[in-house]
Amino acid sequence: MNEFIEILFRSQRIGYFANVHNLPLEPEQQVICRVERGEDIGKVINCAYRDESLDERLEKGDISPIVRIATDTDLEQIIHIEERELEARTKFLSLVVKYPFEMKLLETVYQFDGNKLTFFFSSEGRVDFREFVRELATEFRTRIELHQTSGREDAKRYGGYGMCGCEYCCVAFLRKFNQVSIQMAKDQNLIGNLSKISGPCGRLLCCLHYEEDFYLKKIEEFPVIGEYLKRNGKRCYVIKNDYYNDQIYLKPPDDDVEIITFDQYKKLKKLETTEIVEEE
């Protein structure tokens, strides 16, 4: 399997490229890459990425090469690009007021060679901006893209700190957003208060995905909610599992809730199994 170079561009887009020139690359290095419409500059985040689907794309010629390691001249050019982006932002804001829709401009990014200009914005619902794009293309005389962002993308773009006190995962280390579902919250007994398990982006916390494997393993070992257990001569039923603390909450008939450990539960199940075998 081939190794590919994973690149993070200034637009926060991630792409995969071939090191056809055998350049001495390392993480955090700035490189110039061949893209669909010219060349762009990005940062190396992985020098040995492997994926079968990328191998197939390479065979079809769909994987572009890294052209060169960015020179001092290239890095100086970014300063001028950022100045042009500020000018483009100002012009965008002066033009958009003529249109009936509302959009909040978040970021303006020029491709390194100037062949494309992307405006990232947020808006309530979908926006038909085809006429606006045509005016922008006439104004800037380059390819224009308007990209409507999601709450998670906005959080990644602006950064910040979560309720845990650490920098957002998507800013610190998370390169791709994992799918986080309500079922994960249910598996982890966190469905009671959605506001406490939602991030500043308004979506479920990414860390629910990190811990899901742990809880799925626990669910296989613990009793099912509603299951009956025989304890101290009483028929009790399970009302809650505390997977993290290895505790099980039992409700005996006409009595208060009892808490037993997972080890005690295993002994009860072993005893039940023994009694069934003896009866047979």
- pLDDT tens for 34-47 read 998 899 999 999 99
How much is the pLDDT for 275? 54
pLDDT tens digits for 199-217?
888 888 888 888 899 999 9
Do 235 and 215 fall within a single domain?
no
From residue 147, alpha-carbon distances to 96, 140, 239 in Å are 15, 17, 47
Domain boundary among 29, 54, 70: 70
**Positions in the chain short of pLDDT 50:** 276-280
Q: Residue 161 domain-assigned?
A: no
Q: Residue 158 domain-assigned?
A: no
Identity at 176, one-letter amino acid code: K
Do 85 and 131 fall within a single domain?
yes
CA 76 to CA 83: how far, in whole Å? 12
Do 131 and 182 fall within a single domain?
no
Do 9 and 41 fall within a single domain?
yes
Q: Residue 112 domain-assigned?
A: yes
Domain boundary among 181, 199, 219: 219
Do 86 and 54 fall within a single domain?
no
Read off the tokens for 9: 């561009």
How much is the pLDDT for 138? 94
Residue 101: which CATH number?
A: 3.30.300
Do 145 and 95 fall within a single domain?
yes
Q: Which domain holds residue 248?
A: 228-279
How many structural domains comprise the chain?
A: 4
Q: Residue 164 domain-assigned?
A: no
Do 180 and 121 fall within a single domain?
no
How much is the pLDDT for 280? 47
Q: Residue 13 domain-assigned?
A: yes
Q: Residue 159 domain-assigned?
A: no
Domain boundary among 219, 241, 256: 219
State how beta strands 116-122 and 143-148 pair.
Answer: parallel
* 23-48 burial: b if 16+ Cβ within 10 Å, else e: bebeeebebbbebeeebbbbebbbee
Do 144 and 86 fall within a single domain?
yes
Do 131 and 178 fall within a single domain?
no
How much is the pLDDT for 278? 44
Do 65 and 85 fall within a single domain?
no
